[in-house]
Amino acid sequence: MYDKTVRRRRAVLGLLVACSLILLTAYFGESGSGALHGVQRGTSEVLNPIQEGASRALKPIRDLFGWFGDTIAAKGQVEDLRKERDRLRSEVLTNEIRKADYDRLSNMVQLDGALGLEDKGLKTGRVIFQSGTVWYATVRVDKGSDDGVKVGHPVINEEALIGRVTAVFGGAAQVTLITDTTIKVPARAGRRGEFGIVEPSSAGNPNDLIMRFTNPGARIAVGDRVVTRGTEPEDRDESLYPVGLPIGQVTRIENEGTDTQEIHLRPFADMRSLDFVQILTNPRGE
């Protein structure tokens, strides 16, 4: 009897391990439109309304926890903010002088300071699911193909670019964040708009991005803003991201002036507390 039980237990274990490995191999080997991906998308399609309902129902509790967390975090930030305030006070005086210069210069070169996103088909959605594991930096929003969302559309929040759509369902879309290791964004930094590719510095670190492939002689300094590059006339393919979407701010530069120069930046958007986002369903403004 005991032997039979042990044999049965081992047989089931072996069967389940084999099932897992077969699934893994088949899924990894097939294309995005394969049968297993289809099953996965179909199941998600069914579960999206349930997740959305649960997300909405649990939002007050989430907010309550968030309030506690924010309060604790805020206490730690008070000292930093005081220093920041003192520094900003002195900067305000300088900026007032610069602003007068800027107004004159902007009239001269007709610089379009605004991002001008009104014609980009903005669709506002709510985050209904956030990947629990750091290996998949993805969120799901409650806007999908019914709202004109397609794979590849850029996504922003109230602060900056956060990622792009990588899967679409009827009423929801999967957004892969710029902190995911699969995402690379052509960008410009500094006053001279130096070119580079922004990607995550390492898996699981939502606060550090790296700008690579910059010119060794590029004039980029700590504190410079990094924005999307958009498409240049000489480009063969059009960029997914329109020009000028803010990405982050340079925090440090490694191997400065060499071919392997790496510019670290902190994204403007806080990827761990996304709530409302906007999808640019007409990124080229056509």
**Binding residues for other proteins restricted to 208-227, rule: CB under 8 A:** 208
> Which DSSP helix (H) or strand (E) runs through 109?
helix 59-109
Structure tokens belonging to residue 90: 């002195």
Q: Using an 8 Å Cβ cutoff, are 209 and 264 in contact?
A: yes
Listing DSSP states for 215-272 in one string gives -TT----TT-EEEE----TT-SS--SS-TT-EEEEEEEEESTTSTT-EEEEEESS-TT
**Binding residues for other proteins restricted to 106-125, rule: CB under 8 A:** none
Does 251 bind other proteins (CB under 8 A)? Our answer is no
Minimum CB separation of residue 195 from other proteins in Å reads 23
Minimum CB separation of residue 272 from other proteins in Å reads 5
Contact with other proteins (CB under 8 A) among 128, 155, 165, 175: 128
Contact with other proteins (CB under 8 A) among 45, 126, 130, 210: 130
Q: Using an 8 Å Cβ cutoff, are 190 and 201 in contact?
A: no
143/188 with CB nearer other proteins: 143
- Helix 35-57 and helix 59-109, axial crossing angle in degrees, nearest 10: 100
Contact with other proteins (CB under 8 A) among 81, 88, 103, 135: 135
58/100 with CB nearer other proteins: 58
23/88 with CB nearer other proteins: 23
**Binding residues for other proteins restricted to 27-46, rule: CB under 8 A:** 27-28, 36, 39-41, 43-44
Rounded to whole angstroms, the Cα distance separating 192 from 189 reads: 7
Does 202 bind other proteins (CB under 8 A)? Our answer is yes
180/224 with CB nearer other proteins: 180
Residue 60: C-alpha distances to residues 33, 55, 68 (Å): 38, 10, 13
Rounded to whole angstroms, the Cα distance separating 228 from 189 reads: 9
What residues make contact with other proteins under the rule CB under 8 A?
A: 5, 8-9, 12-13, 16-17, 19-28, 36, 39-41, 43-44, 47, 50-51, 54-55, 58, 61-62, 65-66, 69, 127-136, 138, 167, 174, 181, 200-208, 272-273
